[in-house]
Amino acid sequence: MSPRIVRWKNHSDAETPGNRGEAKIAQQRQTKGSAQRRRGALLFIFTALLAGAITLFHTVRPAPFVSDAIAQTSAKPPALAPSGDPWWKHAVIYEIYPRSFQDSNGDGIGDLNGITARLDYLQDLGVNAVWITPFFPSPQVDFGYDISNYTAVDPQFGTMADFDRLVREAKNHRIRVIMDFVPNHTSDQHPWFLESRSSRTNPKRDWYIWHDGKLPGQPPNNWLSWFGHTAWTFDDPTGQYYYHYFYVQQPDLNWRNPQVRDAMYGVVRFWMDRGVAGFRIDAVSRLFEDPKLHDDPILPGTNAYGDPNIEHKYTDNLPEVHDVLRELRRIVSTYPGDPVLISEADEPNIADLLKMYGRHNDEIQLPMDFQVADVNKLSAPDFRRLLDQIENNPDGQPYFFFGNHDQARQADRYGDGVHNDEIAKLIATVLLTTRATPQMYYGEEIGMRTTPPARKEDVRDPIGKIGWPQEKGRDGERTPMQWDTQKNAGFTDSAKPWLPVPPSASIYNVKIESSDPNSILNFYKRLIELRRSQPALVGGGYVTLNRDDQHVLSYLRKGPPSANSVLVALNMSPDPQTVTFDLTPFGVHDKTAAPILQSPPAALQPVGLAKITMPPYGVLVGTVR
């Protein structure tokens, strides 16, 4: 028996989803060869026997322990999706970077079996779907976003059987699996590109973007890669340049070629047939380029790589993108279960974001809102303006997030270094009490910090290698998940994880926070529970309050006539603030609010709406009628 299992069995603590996951991982690391075959047979029997028990457990389990800062509710949560609503409208979606979530075999790299082992934790957290970033075969130049085979599993992450088991076990935990679909480019090691670059006459030559130079030794135009320097690379054997919006090793596919479309749509069908619930579509706005190769406009200044700033006018957001989105929507809509499409499109304004839904709501159901994600400062006026813009959108469901694998963690982007925990709870409240479908990034629920490399030789992300020291890359937001206080925070038994575990893991980890009723983790859990148990948060309208307040962001989620409304007030300043609410114009006649969640913790006593004093970075969520 491994030390980790002994530690949990000797502990006097009650069993939690976190330590159930630890036991599963320790067992996985011990089973090799014939033991793996025995485990497979036993797992099949075990899963079948427990399926009914799991369902019963989640029907009758008691409410989680909460502190005096959190009100208990006796009412059972309503159905996740009210009648007629698709599941994704009310879901909590959780992004998993598989290299960093859980290592099950001791090689220092997270894998699919590690995710399966942690499904108890995800279910207890309240997650309804996981978006898993790429785990396909890849040279790993861009850590999975340079794909050499779209319909297989990279051996470092497991096998196709492991993936099928993950989907099956996730379903047993009432969790859907969303894939990452990377249609813009392949790896330069993909068989399609190897054929394409073999000669100018190869049948797959036109599957990628090839052009002659403007002059000998000069690329066709001034287009720049998102990751620095020219977007054109000269191929000496065939004497032409190929185009890559991202790394040299990520040549762009030619989406004007019908054969490319057919091949990529085949990839979508392959994974839908294996039971996935939809796709997050990577870099979707970059699918098309100007066929006339016009130069992009030059802007003032230079970027982190020393290149002139440019406007990606001819390589981003071309209108043909919407034809592809409509075709993708038609394909997934032939499958049962309301499959979802999520788009990564860094739209510069609300007008462009709304286009992603399609004129007839026939394109993307959930376009990622980078405008809200990238406010990057605690500004009540800025958040109010963006939330108002979204609420005036009559067509599509909003989709909010504050962290992902390409952004520094929210604790560092919004924190002040002193009140980071309180600010993390404040941002969580914005994410989980608005009308938008929320996306979480692994570890943000425990307050994980960005931990960039201290030396260039420690950098793994090519962006950091190219742009050091101005650009240190994305390693800092991709460090291993912090499960406990043991070596490598319970992520791996390897002596060296693929990225180092941050020192903050000794304080911010699942085990410690699970037992602290006032932790960031338990705050997230309670918010997610309220999102389901309060009718106003499930399907209520959104009303902006106190529009001129420079420090406190406030809004009302209107409940149906027979239910409470929910008042949300968020002090986005380092100083105490006093607020007054007159809710009678919105049909609310109460003169007090009944707090159901507060930060910092406070006694849950009614507060008068005529004068509420909020502490620095304070959160108040209360019911009113």
Q: Which residues are catalytic?
A: 282, 344
Beta strands in 536-580 (DSSP E): 541-545, 552-558, 565-571, 577-579
CA distances from 188 to 81, 210, 211 (A): 43, 13, 17
- Whether residue 260 contacts residue 111, with contact meaning beta carbons closer than 8 Å, is answered with no
* Rg of the chain on CA atoms, in Å: 25
Q: Kindly report the number of other CB atoms within 10 A of residue 12's CB atom.
A: 4
Q: For every residue of 326-372, which 3-state class applies, written as one string?
A: HHHHHHHCCCCCCCEEEECCCCCCHHHHHHCCCCCCCCCCEECCHHH
The Cα 220–Cα 213 span in angstroms is 4
Q: For every residue of 468-531, which 3-state class applies, written as one string?
A: CCCCCCCHHHCCCCCCCCCHHHHCCCCCCCCCCCCHHHHCCCHHHHHCCCCCHHHHHHHHHHHH
Question: Which tokens hold the place of 143?
Answer: 């850590």
The secondary structure of 189-222 as a DSSP string is: TSHHHHHHTT-TTSTTGGGB-EE--SBTTB-SS-
Backbone angles phi, psi at 401, to 5 degrees: -155, 160
The Cα 574–Cα 491 span in angstroms is 35
Residues sharing a CB contact under 8 Å with residue 265, sequence separation 6 or more, in sequence order: 327, 328, 331
- Bridge partners of 334? none
The secondary structure of 372-404 as a DSSP string is: HHT--S--HHHHHHHHHHHHT--SS--EEES--
